[in-house]
Amino acid sequence: MSANESKNPVLFFLQESWLLMAAAIVFGALLASLNAAWQPKVAQNEINKFSVLAGGLLTGAEQFKTALEAVPVDIGKGKTYAVEVKKGLDADGKLVGWAFVCEGSGFADKIKLVIATDAAFETLAGFGVLASNETPGFGDKINIEDGFYQSQFKAAPVTELELTKIGDPEKVDSQIVSITGATVTSEAVVNIFNTFLLPVKEAMQEQNLLQ
């Protein structure tokens, strides 16, 4: 019997793999430190993109201020999503409308949207895509500003929306015509609206933020 065979197998494994284990610990610590360093930049980039998207939807808004910090919205499976509602103010400090970030599951990954409404929270100003990884040429058409899909949400009522494959995309109502070849993505966006719109409105009414 050789010397290696007579050793305790656990001790032998530790002796032979210590360098690999040490490298894994160092690499893990490095990744953690890099992630910690990047998080503030990622958060700031999202804030900047929110301002651009929300400002494009509420064209009279010069600034956005937090109105409600954390509205809990039930997103299913026992989970909630905390929504920060911001008010868009013009140069004179007058309320232009409301905007908030929300998200849901798309075809490929999470879809994160910026949704904006008028000051009364009765009419949609539209939406912008904060983050998505939908299929190029199909689902990613939700990203096209003033495109076929996004345009249907502008001036639509703040109510339960309905997705349809056949309809008039030029008609302003609660029916949203899906993108050809991207029904799942189209439905995902409508589901996000239906999940968040009314709960957020109810929370704002409870806080007497709406006239």
Residue 57: both structure tokens together:
């939807």
Q: What is the pLDDT of residues 166-184, one digit of tens each?
A: 989 999 999 999 999 999 9
Q: Which of 153, 68, 69, 83 is nearest to 118 (CA)?
A: 153
What is the sign, positive or negative, of the torsion defined by CA atoms of 14, 20, 26, 28?
Answer: negative
Q: What pLDDT score does 146 carry?
A: 86
Query: Mean of the pLDDT values across residues 14-20?
Result: 65
pTM: 0.79
Q: What is the pLDDT of residues 22-81, one digit of tens each?
A: 667 777 667 666 566 556 665 667 788 999 999 999 999 999 999 999 999 999 989 999
Contacts for 49-53: CB closer than 8 Å, 24+ residues apart: 49/130, 50/99, 50/101, 50/114, 50/130, 53/114, 53/128, 53/129, 53/130
